[in-house]
């Protein structure tokens, strides 16, 4: 999002699409290489701007163990389809399947 003018141009183009096409688009967020709070806030604000126009599918580029804390703090809630990282249990139902 560092190039604000280009970012705003992309937002304007995406905003011209109808909802049917917006549902098909998936964007990748490039994470900041540093751990400065303002850099992460900038990515988070860019994410909110994209979501506001109707794009809801996102990937993350540059995820590492070193920046996992910042990803969780700044981006988990806006990106995740789960209400909480604690409640995320993708295999919980598998343990009881097949038992009678």
Residue 86 within any structural domain of the chain: no
Residue span of the structural domain in which 23 resides: 4-81
CA–CA distance, 2 with 82 (Å, rounded to integer): 29
pLDDT at residue number 83: 65
In order of 35, 67, 82, the CA distances from 51 in angstroms are 23, 23, 16
Residue 50 within any structural domain of the chain: yes
Q: What residues have CB less than 8 Å from 30, skipping those under 6 apart? A: 61, 62
Q: What pairs with residue 59 in β-bridges? A: 28
Task: Report the predicted TM-score, pTM, of the whole model to 2 decimal places.
Answer: 0.72
pLDDT at residue number 12: 95
Residue 98 within any structural domain of the chain: no
Number of domains in the chain: 1
pLDDT at residue number 2: 54
Reading the chain (100 residues) residue by residue, the pLDDT tens digits are: 558 889 999 999 999 999 999 999 999 988 888 888 898 998 999 999 999 999 989 888 988 888 889 998 888 888 876 666 666 565 666 666 555 5
pLDDT at residue number 45: 92
In order of 2, 10, 66, 83, 85, the CA distances from 77 in angstroms are 22, 24, 19, 7, 9
């Amino acid at each position: 999002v560092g190039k604000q003018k280009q970012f705003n141009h992309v937002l304007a183009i995406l905003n011209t699409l109808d909802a049917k096409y917006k549902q098909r688009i998936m964007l990748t967020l490039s994470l900041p290489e540093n751990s400065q709070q303002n850099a992460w806030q900038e990515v988070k604000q860019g994410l909110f701007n994209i979501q506001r126009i109707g794009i809801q599918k996102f990937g993350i580029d540059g995820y590492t163990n070193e920046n996992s804390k910042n990803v969780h703090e700044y981006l988990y809630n806006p990106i995740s389809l789960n209400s909480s990282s604690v409640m995320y249990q993708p295999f919980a139902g598998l343990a009881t399947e097949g038992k009678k």
